[in-house]
Amino acid sequence: MTKTLAELAALIGKIDFATLSTHSQGGTIAGRPMSNNGDVEYDGDSWYFACEDTRTVQDLRANPTCALSFHGKGGLLGMKPVFVHIEGEAELIKDKAQFAAHWAKDLDLWFKEGVDTPGLTLIKVHGIRAHYWDGEDQGEIVLEGATSQTRAPATF
């Protein structure tokens, strides 16, 4: 059974941190934890903040193809683990109105001047394909905007 986007959103809605993987120099793949900052009403797009001089932004500027990995922990009392992997394309945004729309107060810890922080960049990852496994079910969802060039055969 394939989950809907709404069901996938419910799975990742409780997971704040994702690993954002990018293509880096020399063909390597770099990954780093990124917080959704409470902006987790997933509709196919994910939002993250970074500074423009970071390797993350430099990697995405050179190649916007990226991936997000979410892991919701299982536990006692029958809680099943959740794994979601999203392939996507990143857009680097420098618009303060967009910053404000996705800003959370806790971000002030890392970005001392808020939306006015020099070099602040909003990373929008537009999902193309999502793979999931929730302990009972696994599947793939092809998201809006996928094309034959961005869609690879299922890998499970």
Tens of pLDDT, residue by residue over 14-34, are 788 899 999 998 889 999 999
Q: Average pLDDT, whole number, for the chain?
A: 86
In the chain, what percentage of residues exceed pLDDT 70?
Answer: 85
Q: pLDDT of 29-64, one tens digit each? A: 999 999 876 666 778 899 999 999 999 999 999 999
Half-sphere exposure of 138 (CA within 13 A, CB side): 9
Which of the four pLDDT bands, split at 50, 70 and 90, describes residue 75? low
> pLDDT value at position 70?
92
Residue 142, pLDDT above cutoff 90: no
Q: For position 36, what pLDDT does the model report?
A: 76
- CB-side exposure of 74: number of CA atoms within 13 Å? 11
Average pLDDT of the residues in 102-106 = 89
Which of 125, 121, 123, 129 minimizes the C-alpha distance to 146?
A: 129
Q: When comparing pLDDT for 79 and 110, which is higher?
A: 110
| pTM of the complete model | 0.85
C-alpha distances in Å from residue 20, one per residue of 67, 96, 113, 116: 6, 23, 24, 24
DSSP state for residue 27 in the 8-state scheme: G
With beta carbons less than 8 A apart as the criterion, state whether 56 and 33 touch: no
* DSSP strand pairing (82-93 vs 120-133): antiparallel
